[in-house]
A and B are shown apart, each in its own frame.
Chain A
Amino acid sequence: MSQRFKDIDYIGVFLWVFRAIIIVLVIYGTVSKLFLGVGNEYTIETWIDFFVSGLSQGSLYALIALGYTMVYGILFMINFAHGEFFMSGAMTSTVLVATFLSASGFLDAQPLVSMLLITAVSIITSISVALLTERIAYRPLRRAPRLVPLITAIGASFFWQYFFRGLFGSALIPFPVPESLQGRWTIFGLEFLRTRVVVMGTTVIALVFLYLFIQRTKTGKAIRAVAEDKDVAALMGINVDRTISITFAIGAAMAGIAGVLWGLVFRQVHFYMGFVPGIKAFTAAVFGGIGSIPGAALGGLLLGVIEAVGPPLFLEGLGIVGAHQLKDVIAFTMLVLVLIFRPQGLIGEKLAEKKA
């Protein structure tokens, strides 16, 4: 018996208690909300609405998280400027294309063509910003210690924020939503905001395309090969620098798509809009298992849903007022919990020695 007590490690006990408290709080909140009726004013439709808005928000996180996870997978570097790739596409396409299309009436006359045009400009901008950042700021540091490109990424993030502030000003810029995408659609007898349906549909298409690209194409296979071993990939005749650029470009394209979808949902863009979504998407990538593409998608969706359903479900059940304002607390609590209890993420693998 005394031998057993000697083996107890106090940090382990603390973490165990910490985990137990969180679980008890979540369960207690949920039960008191659903069954004890602590201010349970929501109907089943409202819950579905919470869930769907969570899925749509999560889709956006997932699209952005792909860029973090792909770059990490190939360079073992957290590209903190990725949120700015997202912002640059959203802002540029809004100011240069969407506003103009809306003023001329073309946006409502040809919503599909307009949205495709806006998205194309957004993707091109995001890719250009990403390639410039990679070429100028990251490539010279390829063999530097890992902290150096991380700090550089934060610097690049500030650079692009203030670059686009200088370019387009610091005001909130409205994103025009075509009339045909305003209001709701009725699907299976339930009403859904049209923009949310568009967000989820586009995300699914983008994810399928990305999956096929990575799995089936020669370039996709080269990306996976470079991620595993750069020297051996070079011995196969793969241009490693070019492959890394392509990886940045694909991540940025996803961020560019997310930028337009973000505009549709929130109806405004701003030079600082990349910061919080960037951090959230990073959280999603870590949650799913950084380096894993399916992990980023899953992590993003789960984070969105937990953020949307969590506050009304267990925070309100705990009697917290204004629970919706605490969704960021949930997101970052999750980040901390994942880092403590499952650093490899939901479906990520444990890092091998050489990567760590």
Chain B
Amino acid sequence: MALLEVNNLHAYYGNIHALKGISLQVEEGEIVSLIGGNGAGKTTTLRSISGLIPPKPGAITLGGEDLSNHKAHELVSRGVAMVPEGRGVFAKLTVLENLEMGAFHRTDKDGIIADLNSVYELFPRLAERKKQLAGTMSGGEQQMLAMGRAMMSRPTLLLLDEPSMGLAPVLVEAIFDTITEINKNGTTVLLVEQNAHMALQVAHRGYVLQTGTIVLSDSAKELQRNPMVQKAYLGIE
């Protein structure tokens, strides 16, 4: 059985039927990319899995445990961490305080310190800026902080929403390298991206989402070769 199983998930924003019964699986240790255009339902999928939007209806299980009836704050201790779209760092908190918030549900002080050090190792820039207010940092640094903060909860499943958004190309490369590294250290990653090119390069498998339904799913390599994906998302005629 897969680590994350989403079955026939529906979601609504008011009267808008944003997800029309999508199903997807993420195996332990994988990086899975969810690609699609604006309004396809990528963010909605992540927000449903992380508990911010109640599924109506739909089943979401993580490691066999049903997640669909839990609120967002109860899912963190069950191993789900999410880096929201636009990074969502707490601008008026310091870098260190932001990271502490990531470990909010944990009580193992030694473990928290150990994880803090490994986050600093992953992003040395954050160590330099510990005491700085998060809102005063650049977009790339904020993205690092948001990812480091998510890692502070020691997640089994990391959800990343548009990690490359608004970043310079060189930073995009760095962020995707880090995603690969986080994955190699044992965290399963579900990634949502408009930058399909980068997303399919790091991912093992991918799903293509169009107006609330999954239209295609395959290994990342096959998707890169698929003419429809090439035309619509990779800009190759």
Which A residues lie at the B interface, using CB under 8 A? 218, 221-222, 224-225, 228-229, 231-240
A227 (CB) vs chain B CBs: closest residue: B92
Chain B residues lying within 8 Å of A221, measured Cβ to Cβ, are 93, 97, 100-101
A contact face: mostly helix, strand, loop, or mixed? helix
A-B residue pairs in contact (CB < 8 Å), sample of 30: A218-B100, A221-B101, A222-B101, A222-B104, A224-B93, A224-B97, A225-B90, A229-B90, A231-B52, A231-B88, A232-B84, A232-B90, A233-B73, A234-B51, A234-B52, A234-B71, A234-B72, A234-B73, A235-B50, A235-B52, A235-B81, A235-B84, A236-B73, A236-B104, A236-B149, A236-B153, A237-B76, A238-B101, A238-B104, A240-B73
B163 in the interface, Cβ–Cβ < 8 Å?
Answer: no
* Contacting residue for A232 out of B77, B88, B100, CB 8 A: B88
Q: Mark B137-171, 1 if CB is under 8 A from A, else 0.
A: 00000000000010001000000000000000000
Question: In the complex, A222→B76 CA distance in Å?
Answer: 15
Q: How far is the CB of A241 from chain B (nearest CB, A)?
A: 9
Q: How far is the CB of A328 from chain B (nearest CB, A)?
A: 35
Question: In the complex, A63→B93 CA distance in Å?
Answer: 24
B102-121 CB contacts (< 8 Å) to partner A: 102, 104-105
Q: How far is the CB of B74 from chain A (nearest CB, A)?
A: 8
Which B residues lie at the A interface, using CB under 8 A? 50-52, 71-74, 76-77, 81-82, 84, 88, 90-93, 97, 100-102, 104-105, 149, 153
Chain A residues lying within 8 Å of B76, measured Cβ to Cβ, are 235-237
Q: How far is the CB of B87 from chain A (nearest CB, A)?
A: 9
Q: How far is the CB of B62 from chain A (nearest CB, A)?
A: 15
Q: How far is the CB of B231 from chain A (nearest CB, A)?
A: 35
**Cβ of B73 and Cβ of A218 under 8 Å apart?**
no
**Cβ of A225 and Cβ of B73 under 8 Å apart?**
no
Q: How far is the CB of A236 from chain B (nearest CB, A)?
A: 5
Q: How far is the CB of A104 from chain B (nearest CB, A)?
A: 46
Interface centre among B51, B72, B77, B100 (most CB of A within 10 A): B72
**Cβ of A218 and Cβ of B104 under 8 Å apart?**
yes
**Cβ of B72 and Cβ of A228 under 8 Å apart?**
no
Top 10 A-B residue pairs of the complex, sorted by shortest distance between their CB atoms: A237-B76, A237-B105, A234-B72, A232-B88, A237-B104, A236-B101, A234-B73, A228-B90, A236-B104, A239-B73
Q: How far is the CB of B131 from chain A (nearest CB, A)?
A: 13
**Are A231 and B84 also in contact (CB < 8 A) when A224-B90, A225-B93 are?**
yes
Chain B residues lying within 8 Å of A237, measured Cβ to Cβ, are 73-74, 76-77, 104-105, 153
